[in-house]
Amino acid sequence: MRGLSIPHVLNMNCCGSDLQKIVVMAMFLMGCAMGASSQSALNDTISLESVSIYSTRPVAGTLSGYKVHRIDSLALMEKAGVSLSELLTENSPIFVKTYGRGATATVSFRGTSSSHTRVLWNGIRINSPMSGEVDFSLIPLYFADDVNILYGQASMAYGSGGLGGLVSIDSNPDWSKRYGLKLYQSVGDFQTYSTAIHGGYGTNTLRGQTRFFRETSQNNFTYRNTAKIGKPTEVQKNADYTKHGIMQELYFRPRANSMISAKLWFTQTDRGIPKLMSGFSHDEVNRQENQNFNAVVAWQSYRENGNWKLSSGLSLLSLSYQLQKLSAEGNRLPVLDSHSDAWSWYNTLGYDREVLNWLTLGFQADANLHWVESNEEVLSTAIACKQNQLGIRTFIHAKPMERLSLSLLAGEEAYDNRTTPIMASLSAQYLFLPQKNLMAKAGLARNFHYPTLNDLYWQPGGNPNLKPEEGITGEAGISYTAIPFGSRVNIEVSAFSSEINHWIMWLPHLKGYWEPVNIEKVKARGLEGNISLSLSPGRFKLRFLGNYSYTRSTVEDAGGVLRAEAKGRQLPFIPIHSAGVSTNIQLRNYRLAYSFTHFSERFTTTSNNPNSIRPLYPYYMNNISLGYDLRVRSSLLGFQLRVDNLFDESYQTILWRPMPGRNFSLLVRLEI
């Protein structure tokens, strides 16, 4: 199971080549591009330039029957300076598994693994072609203007692989101002400093945006070490991180209905990998560096005879990992020194047209190329491989009746001349009460996830004959919106059930190395509920968001590779219950935000036996922030004081990796 893959692949028990395991670990830790997010100021007046027409908001958001959530700008602004993983944890049922503050964070969506969540950044897929995963800690929110979550089959409009769903991060032009400058500076506990600059300039037809950010932290928090005798208070070491990035965007819209954009961004993250709480290793070097470079050029045109979209992008994901231990001679010697580069070239062509006023037809085609090189110095091993991908998807959107919308999608992909099974989805949406906006949605889809380059070609263990993972999902939901007395209430409940066949799980080979195998059947099913409320009593503005999800993801048939008792048991690391609440209160220039997140216990073994192996206890987290905005004409000076882990809880989200207690940070924001 991919979500388990980091530790599994890392299982360097005795009789195998321990070093090989570390190399695979390094590869799995490889992060991808950083989605960058810039915060738009929370203005009272909303620009009517209809930014959304030119934004790369996913087409699927307008399609019927799909479940898409947009994380609004208010939430993005509250989280300025914090990472995307926290934003997702608080605003969606996505479970984020984080190895520590500033450390690797992977997601699990609808009971699937981390590689089953596709992530698009400005239209480029940033899942690593090697591991299929995305490290969300590498994506700074300063570079993102828009974050959308597409559940389940909604992801299929963008290609295969999103068995759980898709997260889309976009940077958009702000045509409302000719010149604008935003400066952010934040100072926080554990010597954490963060600086970001966002400049926008241009005319009504040509616009440029430049962004830069830098964040460093010593991350030397104190914690109670419950893994050692006497439970001493210790200071976290070797968990420091430095992240920086730069982004340049250029937008040209020669006519009202077309736009050409060019975006370039680079990010780098250097961090130490701290030891477990139970470890005594001294004088080790354990460090990782991620570099990501992306460039994308896109052309969009909206006309009577159809809408076109053409884009071409280049992506480079680099990962370097170093592990050194003290030798018998007293000096530090390398145990692992690995480096990998993954290049990808993405090309997409999309067209859709309203052929009748109730019928739209369209297609999207991709042609992608990957090439990967990785080497390890201590063992002098190297691997290099290439892969080309072709894909075509066609879709039909129909509105045969006033209240009924239907969508049908079918697609096919080919990887290195091996064609995949056909992917298809059908969904429908029916509007019961137009005034109350009571809607019912239902969908059925067949999606698949092609094995990653590590799955196919990793030495040793990779299996070029692996079958693609196939997901057959049914989902249904009801959504209700009401607008009583100037407030707005939205409630949405949905249920899903997926059967995933040939799930790829890495298991140890008797020779000691790990190899991926297709597990016959995994069933993931659950319930999701969302509620959002906004009201303005008197001079207050209140916004309340709540989400809850129930997820059962179990192995139904492992073909004998897992113990017999694993059948019907929850997959490790997937919580059954996940809930979050986020409240925002505004009064004149003051803002108070509070968030609460909960995950139920997570099992760490396939047998889920609480009597023999301890599960990870349930997680409760409270964060609060207080903000004040000072407006001078069109400029804004804002202050925000954040308190994370409000109740100073001592906890772990990964076994024996400490997390900080109550900590503070102050963010100052200037927008001109």
Partner 1 sequence: MRIRIVKYLTILSVLLSFAGCMDDDVLPTSPVDLFGSRGVFIVNEGNYLYGNASLSYYDIDTREVINDIYAKANGVPPGDVAYTMQIHSGKGYLVVNNSGCIHVVDANSMLHLGTIEGLPSPRHMLFLDNNRALVSDLYARGISIINTATLKVIGKIPTGSSALPFYQHSTENMICIGDKIFVNCWSFDNKVLVISTESLTVTDSIEVGIQPMAMVKDRNNNIWVVNDGGYQGNPFGWENPSLVLINSTTLQVKRRFVFPHLNDLAGPIATNPAGDSLYFVQAHIYKMSIDDTALPESYFVSGMGKNFRGMATDPLTGELYVSDAIDFMSEGRVYRYSPNGAPVDSFEVGIIPGSFCFN
Between residue 562 and residue 581, which ones bind partner 1 under the rule CB under 8 A?
Answer: 562-563, 565-566, 572, 581
Find the part of the chain contacting partner 1 (CB under 8 A) among 418-426, 433-441, 531-539, 636-644: 531-539
Find the part of the chain contacting partner 1 (CB under 8 A) among 54-62, 203-211, 277-285, 627-635: 277-285
| Amino acid of residue 344 | S
Which residue intervals of 526-604 are DSSP H helices?
Answer: none
C-alpha closest to that of 468 among 429, 504, 437 = 504
* DSSP character string of 252-309: EEEETTEEEEEEEEEEEEEEE-PPPTT----S-EEEEEEEEEEEEEEEEEEETTEEEE
CB-nearer residue toward partner 1: 73 or 226: 226
Beta carbons of 370 and 132 less than 8 angstroms apart: no
**Which residue in this structure is represented by tokens 């409630």?**
491
CB of 257 to partner 1, least distance (A): 44
CA torsion 148-154-159-165 (nearest 10°) is 60
Q: Does 512 interact with partner 1 (rule: CB under 8 A)?
A: yes
Q: Does 489 interact with partner 1 (rule: CB under 8 A)?
A: no
Q: Residue 72 is encoded by which pair of tokens? A: 């609004």
Q: Report the alpha-carbon angle 550-410-359, nearest 5.
A: 100
Out of 369, 655, 670, 672, the only residue in the binding site for partner 1 (CB under 8 A) is 655
Q: Does 325 interact with partner 1 (rule: CB under 8 A)?
A: yes
Residues 405-464 that bind partner 1 (CB under 8 A): 459-460
Q: Does 508 interact with partner 1 (rule: CB under 8 A)?
A: yes
Q: Does 656 interact with partner 1 (rule: CB under 8 A)?
A: yes
Residues 361-400 that bind partner 1 (CB under 8 A): 378-381
Q: Does 351 interact with partner 1 (rule: CB under 8 A)?
A: no
Total site size for partner 1, rule CB under 8 A: 87
Q: What is the per-residue binding string for partner 1 in 607-626, x denoting contact by CB under 8 A?
A: x-x--xxx--xxxx-x----
Find the part of the chain contacting partner 1 (CB under 8 A) among 50-58, 135-143, 404-412, 605-613: 605-613
CB-nearer residue toward partner 1: 114 or 155: 114
Q: Does 327 interact with partner 1 (rule: CB under 8 A)?
A: yes
Q: Does 203 interact with partner 1 (rule: CB under 8 A)?
A: no
Residues 96-115 that bind partner 1 (CB under 8 A): none
Find the part of the chain contacting partner 1 (CB under 8 A) among 16-24, 352-360, 397-405, 423-431: 16-24
Q: Does 507 interact with partner 1 (rule: CB under 8 A)?
A: yes
Residues 113-172 that bind partner 1 (CB under 8 A): none
- Segment 402-406 long-range contacts (CB within 8 Å, at least 24 positions apart): 402/431, 403/430, 403/431, 403/432, 403/434, 404/428, 404/429, 404/430, 404/431, 405/64, 405/65, 405/429, 405/430, 406/64, 406/65
CB of 286 to partner 1, least distance (A): 11
CB of 355 to partner 1, least distance (A): 48
Q: Does 29 interact with partner 1 (rule: CB under 8 A)?
A: no
CB of 607 to partner 1, least distance (A): 4
Contacts of 144 (CB under 8 A, 6+ apart): 35, 36, 37, 38, 76, 84, 169, 170, 171
CB-nearer residue toward partner 1: 14 or 632: 14
CB of 11 to partner 1, least distance (A): 4
CB-nearer residue toward partner 1: 35 or 508: 508
Q: Strand 165-170 relative to strand 146-151: parallel, antiparallel, unpaired? A: antiparallel
CB of 199 to partner 1, least distance (A): 39
CB of 15 to partner 1, least distance (A): 6
Find the part of the chain contacting partner 1 (CB under 8 A) among 4-12, 31-39, 406-414, 466-474: 4-12
Q: Report the alpha-carbon angle 433-435-436, nearest 5.
A: 70
Beta-strand ranges (E) seen in 72-205 are 95-98, 105-108, 117-121, 124-125, 146-151, 165-170, 179-188, 192-202
**Which residue in this structure is represented by tokens 């009971």?**
111
Out of 46, 48, 282, 305, the only residue in the binding site for partner 1 (CB under 8 A) is 282
CB-nearer residue toward partner 1: 142 or 321: 321
Query: Quick check: helix, strand or coil at residue 368?
Result: strand
Q: Residue 246 is encoded by which pair of tokens? A: 């730069």
C-alpha closest to that of 23 among 415, 462, 486 = 462
CB of 398 to partner 1, least distance (A): 41
Give a three-class secondary structure readout of 88-105: HHHHCCCEEEECCCCCCE
CB-nearer residue toward partner 1: 127 or 652: 652
Find the part of the chain contacting partner 1 (CB under 8 A) among 17-25, 28-36, 86-94, 342-350: 17-25
Contacts of 236 (CB under 8 A, 6+ apart): 219, 220, 221, 222, 223, 274, 658, 660
C-alpha closest to that of 70 among 55, 83, 80 = 55
